[in-house]
Amino acid sequence: MDAKNPHEDISSIVVAPEDAGERIRASLGLAAGEELRISYITGPGDVQGTYVHWLAGELDPRVPTVAKTAMLYELCRQITARAQLVADVQPGCSDFDDGNVRFDYIQRHRFSGALSYYWASIRRIYDARQAIKRFSPHFVIACTDFPSYGLPVLTTAGAKLIFSLHNTFWTKGLTVLSLKERLANFGREFWLQSADTALCTSLECELQFQRLTKNKIKTFRNIPQQRRPASPVSANKPGKTRKILFLGRIEDAKGIYDLLDAYASLSKKYQDIELVFAGAGAAAQALTNRIKELGDDRVRYVGKLSADEVFAELKGTYVNICPTRNAFKEGLALVCIEAAVYGVPSIMSTAVPAAYLLPDSGEVYAADSVEELTAALDKFLQDPAFQSQRSQKALVESQNFFRRDKSWGSYLYLAMLQAASN
């Protein structure tokens, strides 16, 4: 979608009542018109760049989704609040404050072992705490990128804490957790009690948070929001070549080799298929080497794509594959959502928590099983009518991803009201 798509009103990404600001202030005991301050400890990403696009009245064109930070900026405009973004140091960015939004950058220190990892984490907690203390917010939003054991220190200044979960704590579907995970959860049961409420990006994130907090803390589950296509989208019609797409991080645990093996098993049976890997990650060179060893020019690795390139790639895709292995703690897998918007059905492993949002267009197989992945892919390839049916259903289900009243920003308003009443 063109960022200046006339069909996308930037103010619509957050839905809140006209007196939302007054309601929040009243819940906090603030006077009408008194300054309201919100701090957000973000994950990776150029949050200042997203702000520049928001100021221009457009969504960030670099990402296919509606960024959470854009929703925060818009909510703050609607309720007349000041925002502080505590973010990792970014090239070309520096501390900045225009009176409405303030950016404080903290260094994410490198580590080479267990001890240095914890030292780096503790240093990050300290730096974030100091930045927040200087801003003196009424609300602090921390995401799962922030160490759980650092949550208690964020509330020492009396601010209300909203925990935003975009990752799970353990892999979806696992019934037996390792000793390390059980010990970590023992600590989380204590640390998470610091939160006044929680925003959850998926059903699995919500269930795990509720389990750890014994349902004592109110949660809000948002629906991931996509940018609206600039022109109408119809179900994909297969061309002479049927493209199988992997889009995401190029990591061993994301199942890239499982997909490569499944393709190899079917490549002779179906001469009209091709496999495309897109994304970046630590296993990029290893994947490139494996593709060379396979010696099949129908398999390509195209590297990291821009948002517009992602849309272009999806428009010609027969089926999207999300083969995450049990070793990876998947929070949702937005690529399945992005694919549905363009009428592309997805095959996803049981480690992917997105299936509940795509009940009629998605196909699920047992994670770590190349045999089941191969069978699921074969099911789509041998029956184009089946693929066409799933493609149509993907378009229907994708309408949920434009429900701005269900966005993270819209639920953030409700979470603030809930937290203020605690």
Distance from C-alpha of 117 to C-alpha of 108, rounded to nearest angstrom:
11
Q: Beta-carbon neighbour count of residue 219 at 10 Å?
A: 21
Distances (CA, A) of 76 to 17, 43, 171, 175: 13, 19, 34, 41
pLDDT of residue 117: 79
Distance from C-alpha of 236 to C-alpha of 315, rounded to nearest angstrom:
7
pLDDT of residue 6: 46
| Burial class of residue 109 (count of CB atoms within 10 Å of its CB; 0-12, 13-18, 19+) | middle
- According to DSSP, residue 215 is labeled T
Q: What is the pTM of this model?
A: 0.92
- In the chain, the domains with their CATH numbers are 10-225+403-421 (3.40.50.2000), 242-400 (3.40.50.2000)
Residue 60: name the closest of 413, 408, 332, 69 by CA.
Answer: 69
pLDDT of residue 3: 41
Q: In what order do the strands lie in the sheet with 363-365?
A: 299-301, 273-278, 242-247, 317-322, 346-349, 363-365
pLDDT of residue 54: 96
pLDDT of residue 232: 66
Handedness of CA 183, 186, 190, 191 (dihedral sign): positive
Distances (CA, A) of 326 to 144, 171, 176: 19, 6, 12
pLDDT of residue 263: 97
- Name the strand (E) or helix (H) holding 299: strand 299-301
- Tens-level pLDDT at each residue, the chain (422 residues): 334 454 468 999 999 999 999 999 999 999 999 999 999 999 888 999 999 999 999 999 888 899 999 999 999 999 999 999 999 887 777 888 999 999 999 987 776 777 777 888 899 999 999 999 999 999 999 999 899 999 999 987 789 999 999 999 999 988 778 888 889 899 999 999 999 999 999 999 999 999 999 999 999 999 999 988 876 676 666 667 899 999 999 999 999 999 999 999 999 999 999 999 999 999 999 999 999 999 999 999 999 988 888 888 998 899 999 999 999 999 999 999 999 999 999 999 999 999 999 999 999 999 999 999 999 999 999 999 999 999 999 999 999 999 999 999 999 999 999 999 88
Is residue 185 within 8 Å of 177, Cβ to Cβ?
A: yes
Residues in the chain: 422
pLDDT of residue 190: 94
pLDDT of residue 250: 97
**CA of residue 127 relative to chain centroid, distance:** 25
Q: Beta-carbon neighbour count of residue 279 at 10 Å?
A: 22
Is residue 364 within 8 Å of 351, Cβ to Cβ?
A: no
**CA of residue 188 relative to chain centroid, distance:** 21
Structure tokens that stand for 89 in this block:
């140091």
pLDDT of residue 9: 81
Is residue 54 within 8 Å of 64, Cβ to Cβ?
A: no
SS3 34: coil
Q: Give the distance between the most distant pair of CA atoms in the chain.
A: 72
pLDDT of residue 306: 86
Q: Beta-carbon neighbour count of residue 62 at 10 Å?
A: 15
- Name the strand (E) or helix (H) holding 416: helix 408-421
pLDDT of residue 121: 87
